[in-house]
Chain A
Amino acid sequence: QSALTQPASVSGSPGQSITISCTGTSSDVGGYNFVSWYQQHPGKAPKLMIYDVSNRPSGVSNRFSGSKSGNTASLTISGLQAEDEADYFCSSYTGSNPFYVFGTGTEVTVL
């Protein structure tokens, strides 16, 4: 099972919207609605931002939203803020070993 493909970096100005893609296959992203997104600041633990494709955990800003089309999931951050600058990883359930696969990671820069 290969890692899910994400763009290495995405940038935007404060207040803008950005979208991060996460491309897999029909065996992972396309096959299940178990896609999650994690935010990771340098030296910190990952934080769950989106689960089951488009659900936000309690306490996560509604500026974060998720969607999926076919084998590609997306995370959109609207109203970009300086605190959003971090690495973002997607993950998906795969149904077979390894049962979870993560994305290659995207570095978000706020200009």
Chain B
Amino acid sequence: QVQLVESGGGVVQPGRSLRLSCAASGFIFSDYTVHWVRQAPGKGLEWLAVISYDGSQRYSADSVRGRLTISRDNSKNTLYLQMNSLRVDDTAVYYCARAESSSWHNFDNWGQGTLVTVSS
């Protein structure tokens, strides 16, 4: 079955960096576009970034551009989110989500999320 497993979260001080990973299994990872979405404690969901199946297209939300970078390694079936210059308001659960095969717009499978806490 489709599985997406995020890792790499933890407690980090403001200004530091972190790299999140999302390991995919149960489907042909290189065929699918994938997204990163986050959810701050007690808040709604926020879209962060998307990368096409082959990595040739990538888009990030203006609110995080320059600090958060999406990438993928299809040989390792893994999606990444490089997070730099972290701020307290980056504290959230970070999810990777697969886009449905025929459309980037529908997130048809999600991971369980990894919690990032930015605190001094």
In-complex Cβ contact of B106 among A36, A44, A101 (8 A) = A36
Taking the closest CB of chain B, its distance from the CB of A1, in whole angstroms, is 9
Taking the closest CB of chain B, its distance from the CB of A10, in whole angstroms, is 16
How many residues of chain B get a CB closer than 8 Å to chain A's CBs? 24
Residues in B whose Cβ lies below 8 Å from that of A57: 100, 108
In-complex Cβ contact of A99 among B44, B50, B97, B103 (8 A) = B50
Tell me whether B47 and A101 are in contact (CB under 8 A).
yes
Tell me whether B61 and A97 are in contact (CB under 8 A).
yes
Instruction: Please tell me if A47 contacts chain B, counting CB pairs below 8 Å.
Output: yes
Tell me whether A89 and B50 are in contact (CB under 8 A).
no
Instruction: Tell me the total A-B contact number using a CB cutoff of 8 A.
Output: 66
Tell me whether B45 and A48 are in contact (CB under 8 A).
no
Stretch of B11-19, B73-81, B84-92, B110-118 that contacts chain A: B110-118
Tell me whether B106 and A52 are in contact (CB under 8 A).
yes
Report which residue of B44, B109, B110 has the largest number of chain A beta carbons within 10 angstroms of its beta carbon.
Answer: B44
Residues in A whose Cβ lies below 8 Å from that of B107: 36, 38, 46, 48, 91
A-B contact pairs, 5 of them (CB 8 A): A34-B105, A48-B108, A91-B107, A99-B61, A102-B46
